[in-house]
């Protein structure tokens, strides 16, 4: 299936010079959404994780669907201040500042194998921060799954040591 053809490019969003890869157009095609989830389920079937962590916000869509399909717990990784109970947080750098991501302290148990899911791998900062949270809680990041990767932005470098699987690559600057 040609997933790349279903992903909309939005020039100059959220700021001038960015070529935003919008996966919401892929979600309008149920067969494509199902294809991604079933493919990831097949990748994980021989060595299933203990839980799926979805990164806010679009990682929730794919992560929750994958967790449901596999009968696994879903753990949301959210922006600072959005989770209602006790959390741990991790800061990470952006091109234009610093951000933070949090997970509930009781969401991941020591020794659990975790798969992190997000829609897009760009610079890798957000998912690297989520991986550090998983490790601080005693979990092991078994794999990171993405729909889209932008290889020129070198996100894999920040995720060194974590196996990565992406469905589509776009060579953007």
Nearest to 166 by CA among 115, 113, 118, 94: 118
Task: Give the pLDDT mean for 130-141.
Answer: 98
CB 141 within 8 A of CB 114: yes
- Angle between helical axes of 58-70 and 30-44 (0-180°, round to 10): 60
Look at residue 40 in the predicted model and tell me its pLDDT: 98
Look at residue 7 in the predicted model and tell me its pLDDT: 98
pLDDT per position as a tens digit, 6-24: 999 999 998 898 889 999 9
pLDDT per position as a tens digit, 144-157: 999 999 999 999 99
How far apart, in whole angstroms, are the C-alpha atoms of residue 62 and residue 145? 9
The domain segmentation of the chain, as residue ranges, is 47-169
Look at residue 98 in the predicted model and tell me its pLDDT: 86
CB atoms within 10 A of CB 17: 7
- Does the structure show a pLDDT above 80 at 54? yes
Three-state SS letters, the chain: CCCHHHCEEEECCCCCCCEEEECHHHHCCHHHHHHHHHHHHHHHCCCCCCEEEEECCHHHHHHHHHHHHHCCCEEEEEECCCCCCCEEEEEEEECCEEEEEEEECCCCCCCCEEEEEEEEECCCHHHHHHHHHHHHCCCEEEEEEEEEECHHHCHHHHCCCCCEEEEEECCCC
Residue 7 CB partners (closer than 8 Å, separation 6+)? 21, 22, 23, 25, 26, 147, 148, 168, 170
Look at residue 95 in the predicted model and tell me its pLDDT: 66
Look at residue 36 in the predicted model and tell me its pLDDT: 98
pLDDT per position as a tens digit, 70-125: 999 999 999 999 999 999 999 988 766 789 999 999 999 999 999 999 999 999 99
pLDDT, averaged across the chain? 95
CB atoms within 10 A of CB 33: 19
Look at residue 173 in the predicted model and tell me its pLDDT: 62
**Catalytic residue list:** 58, 95
Looking at domain 47-169, its CATH architecture is 3-Layer(aba) Sandwich (3.40)
């Amino acid at each position: 299936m040609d997933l790349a053809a279903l992903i909309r490019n939005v020039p100059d969003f959220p700021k001038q010079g960015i070529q935003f890869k919008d996966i919401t157009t892929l979600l309008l095609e149920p067969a494509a959404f199902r294809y991604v989830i079933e493919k990831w389920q097949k990748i994980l079937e021989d060595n299933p994780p203990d839980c799926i962590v979805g990164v806010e916000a679009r990682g929730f869509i794919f992560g929750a669907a994958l967790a449901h399909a596999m009968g696994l717990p879903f753990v949301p990784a959210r922006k600072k201040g959005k989770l209602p109970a006790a959390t741990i947080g991790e800061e990470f750098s952006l091109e234009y500042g610093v951000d933070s991501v949090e997970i509930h302290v009781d969401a991941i148990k020591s020794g659990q194998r975790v798969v992190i899911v997000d829609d897009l791998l760009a610079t890798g900062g957000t998912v690297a921060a989520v991986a550090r949270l998983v490790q601080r809680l005693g979990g092991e990041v078994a794999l990171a799954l993405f729909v889209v990767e932008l290889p020129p932005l070198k996100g894999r470098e920040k995720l060194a040591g974590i196996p990565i699987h992406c469905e589509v690559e776009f060579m953007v600057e």
